[in-house]
Amino acid sequence: MIPRVFHQYWTDPRDSGRPVPSDITHNRESWTNLYPEFAHSLWTDTTLPELLSDVGGVDVWSHVKICRLPAMRADIVRLGLVFLMGGFWVDLKNVARERIPNELLDIAAPLFVEHPGLQVRTIPKGFVSNSFFGAPAGSTILFDALHRACTNVALRIAGDIFETTGPSLLNAALRENREAVRIIPHPGFWGVLVERTTASYNEGEMHWSERQQKESLYW
């Protein structure tokens, strides 16, 4: 079974020591209120280095720390955490509106949700989001996606981080692995069970889609 823990990661694009903003605290409380029986882990740049120093033989943290954009760091962290520990990944911009049915949460196979689509790019049917997913520890799909992301970072691949570290890598791993999974269609999930919101930490042209056009992706 997928462990009953929600993993989240906080790193501030302006100041790594700044407290979690109130809008993100509100988002997190929506999950703790609806899922009181779950563990709720908020990971930071202080708590992760040792944990992610050896994930299936890969020093994941050494790749995370050279990524300039927090979105890239989070892309890699989520794969490493859920592969290593199992559980569910929940983006900090996700608000829990209604409980996800237990028959979806209480499964042994990795669980993904179809991407709701974007105005700025074409998303094919069946393409999954990386903003909410779950898996038991040791998922071959997650390790494949993690290895792809770390390889791209090691090579300092430039371009769109949606492709470099983001959901495109998870979908490539899904296509090429035979691990049994369950994919939830996006109608009835996004905007009903879970709502995507904006975030104060992205204000002032700090969103990754803007920053990647004018900054290096790497330190």
Task: Give the pLDDT score at 177.
Answer: 92
Instruction: Check residue 31 and give its pLDDT.
Output: 98
Which pLDDT belongs to residue 121?
67
- Residue stretches of the chain with pLDDT short of 50: none
Identify the pLDDT of residue 193.
Answer: 98
Q: How many Å apart are CA 37 and CA 5, to the nearest integer?
A: 9
Number of residues that make up the chain: 219
As a whole number of angstroms, the distance between CA 179 and CA 173 comes to 10
Beta bridge partners of 134: 88, 111
Global pTM? 0.95
Q: Note the pLDDT of residue 101.
A: 96
Cβ-Cβ contacts under 8 Å for 211 (sequence gap 6 or more): 13, 69, 205
* Residue 155 confidence (pLDDT): 98
> What is the structure's pLDDT at 104?
94
Fold of the domain spanning 5-211: Spore Coat Polysaccharide Biosynthesis Protein SpsA; Chain A (3.90.550)
Q: Tens digits of per-residue pLDDT, 111-134?
A: 999 998 765 567 888 899 999 999
**Which residues, in sequence order, are bridge partners of residue 43?**
9
